[in-house]
Amino acid sequence: MNHDDLRYGNLKHMQTAWSETTPGVVHASWSGHLTACGRPVIEAKPVYESHPRDITCAECGATAVFDLHTAREHAKAITEKYEASGLLTSGETFRLREDAIKAIAPQAFKRRRAGDSWNAISSNFLMSTGAATGTDGTSIFVGKIGMAVIEGLSASELKEKY
């Protein structure tokens, strides 16, 4: 998943692209060499012909239409106190946040494109992870991180139709 936060909000430099490794799937690229999901590009449309609505790769789509940095910051607000108290290391909290983004952002892209509301996406996340019904600390922690990521994605979503 994208770690280069300069990509989002810079859609005027985005190219829709294709990779040999995923025939028939349309990706996003900002370099023309690699897709946002890290696959090698074999062909890319010119920037002026590229639009997020053409992207079919959920990971590339999430990178294009959400500010993943905002999602990271929302999740970081949850994990900071666990890190400060010594319950988790810096590396562990980083991996938790990145894993949450990697799992949630592509699904949110697909669900938003299908017309689902953020409320439906949040409810689905809570039910599918057991965070809605779990009473143990781990379920609650996972739910908090996931909901923070979803809030960050919602707050930073591309405002135009995709």
How many structural domains are present in the chain? Answer: 2
Task: Examine the domain organization and report whether 51 and 119 are in the same domain.
Answer: no
Q: What is the pLDDT of residues 132-154, one digit of tens each?
A: 777 787 888 889 999 999 999 99
Kindly report, residue by residue over 85-137, the tens digit of the pLDDT. Answer: 998 999 999 999 999 999 999 999 999 999 999 999 999 999 888 777 777 87
**Do strands 43-44 and 27-29 pair parallel, antiparallel, or not at all (unpaired)?**
unpaired
pLDDT for 49 beyond 70: yes
Let me know if residue 17 belongs to a domain: yes
DSSP lists the bridge partners of residue 29 as: 15, 35
Task: Let me know if residue 116 belongs to a domain.
Answer: yes
Helix (H, G, I), strand (E, B) or coil at 36: coil
With contact defined as beta carbons under 8 Å apart, do 147 and 125 qualify?
yes
Q: What separation in angstroms does the CA of 125 have from each of 58, 77, 91, 101, 148?
A: 17, 19, 24, 12, 12
pTM for this predicted structure: 0.88
Classified as helix, coil or strand, 20 is coil
Interval 68-84 mean pLDDT: 93
Q: Same domain, yes or no, for 98 and 130?
A: yes
In whole numbers, what is the pLDDT of the chain averaged over residues? 90
Confirm whether 51 is domain-assigned. Answer: yes
- pLDDT number for residue 160: 86
**59 and 76 inside one domain:** no
> With contact defined as beta carbons under 8 Å apart, do 60 and 37 qualify?
yes
Q: Are residues 32 and 94 in the same domain?
A: no
